[in-house]
Amino acid sequence: MAEIRDTKRVVKCQKSCNRSAEDLLLWIKNKDYDGSVRPNVTGGPVVIDIETYISSVSSIDERDMEFSLDMFFRQRWKDSRLIYQPHPDKGPDQRVILSPELTKYVWQPDVYFRNSKDARFHMVPTQNVLFGINPDGSILLSARITTVLACQMNFRKFPMDRQTCHFYVGSYSQTEENVLVRWRNGQGVIVPEELEIPQYDLTSVVSKDRKGAYNTGVFSEPEATFVFKRRLMFYVYGFYLPVTLVVLLSWISFWIDPESTPARVSLGVITILAMGNFLHGGGATPNVSYATALDVYVITSFVFVFASLMEYAAVHCALIKYQQSDINEPCKLVKFGDSVKSQDSEEGMVNGSFSSSSTVQLPVTLKNDEEEGHSLRRKSIIQGAKLYYIHFNYKSLESYSRVAFPLLFAIFNIIYWFTYCGSKVSDQGIC
């Protein structure tokens, strides 16, 4: 039996190894080649070495959580049925290029992109596909493809975030027993140095071979991981700097005379309206249900601006009470008699005495120690209130605000920038 198999292989090799490239094309065209059967069908799996050359990353869409790749996707495998004699006048890298009409008769791996939302081949001016066969039966299939890939993004640190997106490749119907897909030389993603992405930097690309286990079998699924770092300066100029200036503008009111009500109220309202334009990033932030880092900064700044207006409300209220108070006016006590007789007054006289429903205000002369103590206690309360009011009047509140507001805002900025740009710069790569 072994001799019979060896004889068949020799006969096959004599037919294939001695044919020319023209004979190979004619053999494929006549459909003598069975493209429905994979190479080495009775042996081990067909090894598909893949690589991709990224020509551009056209867009990173935060709203739909996707990114687009324009690439040259290349697949390499070997089919011993397509061996032919090399031309003596050509170099060692000679290759027979098949037309698109002939490629449909040759076996090809059913490679697909697992997280692709949309993909298309480039057809201008002609179909951008290269199908070449080397004399030893090695095949190169290269195609220019634009694909939109899904990417799960986290915007809690937006705009000081890094997004990690994946590119999954695999065989759709052939398990690892039949087709093994892997990155060529372990690093199949090629990125040119001059690649430019709006608002992002491509910090790293890592490719690795992995397996995917499903209820239909175990499939090889090579994975490429792209790490995009957002460029912060656009948001510094467009959001952080203007918001900070609006907060500083709201503090000018602390140096305006509290009696200039129109000026201070107008300044407070204008700054609040200006801050309203920056809420939710002015429409530039992703629509997510949680607060981003930019939202935290804008909302906190809005609170500072609103607090400066509320500070003037408290100062104005204290100023009005101070102007209306009459603390230095001497107190006048009034005593109502129950049964006071008078020869000079006869109003309200009933049976020689005043009725309980009638009141007469009379200057009272303190006659005993109890009334004198009551008066002293009242004067003491008034003096205490006066001292407290002087200690914490509107002028003191203005002085405290001039120091407290900038100090608190500075502390907030230190905590904010340290949290997002501080201790984990090397790991998270924020700023």
The pLDDT, as a whole number, for residue 329 is: 46
The pLDDT, as a whole number, for residue 89 is: 78
> Which of the 8 DSSP states describes residue 356?
T
pTM, rounded to two decimals: 0.75
Asked if residues 111 and 50 have their Cβ atoms less than 8 Å apart, the reply is yes
- Written as tens digits, the pLDDT of the chain (431 aa) is 444 444 444 445 545 567 888 899 899 888 888 888 999 888 899 999 999 999 999 889 988 899 999 999 999 999 999 999 988 877 778 899 999 889 999 999 999 999 999 999 999 898 999 999 999 999 999 999 999 999 999 999 999 999 999 999 999 999 999 999 999 988 889 999 889 998 899 999 999 999 989 998 999 999 999 999 999 998 999 999 999 999 999 999 999 888 888 999 999 999 999 988 888 666 677 888 888 999 999 999 999 999 999 999 888 887 777 666 644 444 444 444 444 444 444 444 444 444 444 444 444 444 455 555 555 566 566 655 554 554 456 677 888 899 999 999 999 999 999 999 875 544 444 57
What type of residue is 48?
Answer: I
Positive or negative: CA dihedral 216, 217, 222, 224 = positive
First to last CA, the chain: 70
Asked if residues 362 and 337 have their Cβ atoms less than 8 Å apart, the reply is yes
- In the chain the domains, ranked by start, together with CATH numbers, are 21-230 (2.70.170.10), 234-323+393-422 (1.20.58.390)
The pLDDT, as a whole number, for residue 383 is: 54
C-alpha 388/C-alpha 379 separation (Å) is 14
Give the distance from CA 388 to its chain's centroid: 50
Give the tens place of pLDDT for each residue, 379-390: 566 655 554 554
The pLDDT, as a whole number, for residue 352 is: 46
Asked if residues 143 and 136 have their Cβ atoms less than 8 Å apart, the reply is no
Asked if residues 367 and 349 have their Cβ atoms less than 8 Å apart, the reply is no
Give the tens place of pLDDT for each residue, 232-260: 998 999 999 999 999 999 999 999 888 88
The DSSP annotation for 38-75 comes to: -TTTTSSPEEEEEEEEEEEEEEEETTTTEEEEEEEEEE
The pLDDT, as a whole number, for residue 354 is: 41
C-alpha 337/C-alpha 359 separation (Å) is 8
Residue 183: enclosing H or E segment and its boundaries?
A: strand 179-183
C-alpha 284/C-alpha 75 separation (Å) is 40
- Count Cα neighbours of 200 within 13 Å in the Cβ-side half-sphere: 23
The pLDDT, as a whole number, for residue 316 is: 83
C-alpha 354/C-alpha 361 separation (Å) is 13
Nearest to 222, CA basis, from 172, 183, 171, 186: 183
Distances (CA, A) of 91 to 79, 87, 265, 273: 21, 8, 85, 74
